[in-house]
Amino acid sequence: MSRSIHFSLVSQPIDIPSLAAGLADPGAGAVVTFDGRVRNHNAGEAVSHLEYQAYPALAVSTGQRILEEESARHRLLGVQAVHRTGPLAIGDVAVWVGVASAHRGPAFDAARAIMERLKYELPIWKKETYADGRSEWVGPDNQSPETGRVRDVIPEWPAELLEIWISDGNDFRGRHEQGRLEHPIRSITEIDCVAGMGLRGDRYFGYKPDFKGQVTFFDAAAVAAVRERFSMPELSGSVFRRNLIVRGIDLGAWVGKRFRFQGIDFEASEECKPCYWMDQVVAPGAEEFLKANFRGGLRARILSSGLLSTNRA
């Protein structure tokens, strides 16, 4: 596993040779490095120079966490990244990422994933000064079509979040005829949604790239319907092993669409089809009952990072 995982902020030019040397590893068949440089134009404007402001404590802890998560996900041998702060000139390296891996596939994938996450999760802000002397704080370019995150056309869900359930293990999936594992599922009031990864702490966090079920939504009306149909008024919302129990939204209408919920952007992928385990954990007939009327819930990818809360007014 990773021997060297390090993120830092620097106010001086990035020392690329010494960072690259830190990635040396006899088991590394691939080292990918990327430098993001200050370009002389942006959105049709001639840029003369720019300045980065950071929230240092939070930027360092966030950057370090991104590297640790991506390192584990891609099984890297080493990873280093640095972001500049303060004034920079055209051509300066603003951000540098280097990864070492046994093979080139994970090395390229990890370098790209880390860069994308650094751009929209690090609390760092860029102020551009243009050739004509004006200057402006820049909006995040992770909202560009290149990364598919065009925030302003995404409709907001008029829904309420009632319950959040996460589990650090997987009880059902791929467990055919092996019996159920007893991974505890727990209820929390706030959850950290990480773009492209999932719910921090959940069993599907970083499960695989572009995973369709980074998060699952379940309608409170379906919980109520199951309780009534099977005369189980006390049945917990946890038995369905879906993450987010919501009220006030027709989940079936959102397959394939993007939506915003509590300021976080999601893309619904497909119905979360119930499996025969539902007959065992609820009652015989539960699987069939959940198959109707989109009661199984909705799977989605997370497009932007943020916190969801059950206390939202």
Which CB atom, from 24 or from 89, has the smaller least distance to other proteins? 89
Which CB atom, from 83 or from 241, has the smaller least distance to other proteins? 83
Among 20, 102, 138, 255, binds other proteins (CB under 8 A): 138
Among 44, 133, 153, 313, binds other proteins (CB under 8 A): 313
Distance, CA of 17 to CA of 25 (rounded, Å): 15
Among 4, 22, 28, 36, binds other proteins (CB under 8 A): 36
Structure tokens at 298: 């909705």
Which CB atom, from 123 or from 252, has the smaller least distance to other proteins? 123
Structure tokens at 306: 């943020």
The piece of 56-64, 178-186, 210-218, 246-254 that touches other proteins (CB under 8 A) is: 56-64
Among 6, 49, 112, 119, binds other proteins (CB under 8 A): 119
Q: Which residues of 194-214 are buried (b: 16+ CB within 10 A; e: fewer)?
A: bbbbbbbebbbbbbeeebebb
Taking the complex as a whole, how short is the minimal distance between the CB of residue 138 and other proteins, in angstroms? 5
- Which residues, 6+ apart, have CB-to-CB distance to 242 below 8 Å? 165, 216, 217, 218, 272, 297
Distance, CA of 152 to CA of 147 (rounded, Å): 14
Say which residue the tokens 């959105």 belong to: 43
Strand partners, 185: 167
The answer to whether residue 92 forms part of the interface with other proteins (CB under 8 A) is no
The answer to whether residue 308 forms part of the interface with other proteins (CB under 8 A) is yes
- Sort residue 75 into left (φ over 0), alpha (ψ -120 to 50) or beta: left
Taking the complex as a whole, how short is the minimal distance between the CB of residue 198 and other proteins, in angstroms? 16
Residue 246 near residue 217 (C-beta atoms within 8 A): yes
Residue 33 near residue 20 (C-beta atoms within 8 A): yes
The piece of 59-67, 168-176, 212-220, 293-301 that touches other proteins (CB under 8 A) is: 59-67
The answer to whether residue 271 forms part of the interface with other proteins (CB under 8 A) is no
Distance, CA of 276 to CA of 173 (rounded, Å): 11
The answer to whether residue 124 forms part of the interface with other proteins (CB under 8 A) is yes
The answer to whether residue 144 forms part of the interface with other proteins (CB under 8 A) is no
In three state form, how does the secondary structure of 93-146 look? EEEEEEEEECCHHHHHHHHHHHHHHHHHHCCEEEEEEECCCCEEECCCHHHCHH
Taking the complex as a whole, how short is the minimal distance between the CB of residue 271 and other proteins, in angstroms? 28
The answer to whether residue 118 forms part of the interface with other proteins (CB under 8 A) is yes
The answer to whether residue 58 forms part of the interface with other proteins (CB under 8 A) is yes
Taking the complex as a whole, how short is the minimal distance between the CB of residue 27 and other proteins, in angstroms? 29
Taking the complex as a whole, how short is the minimal distance between the CB of residue 292 and other proteins, in angstroms? 34
The answer to whether residue 82 forms part of the interface with other proteins (CB under 8 A) is no
Structure tokens at 161: 């979040």
Q: Which residues would be at the binding site for other proteins (CB under 8 A)?
A: 36, 52-55, 57-59, 61-62, 83, 94-95, 115, 118-127, 137-142, 190, 192, 260, 262-263, 306-309, 311-313
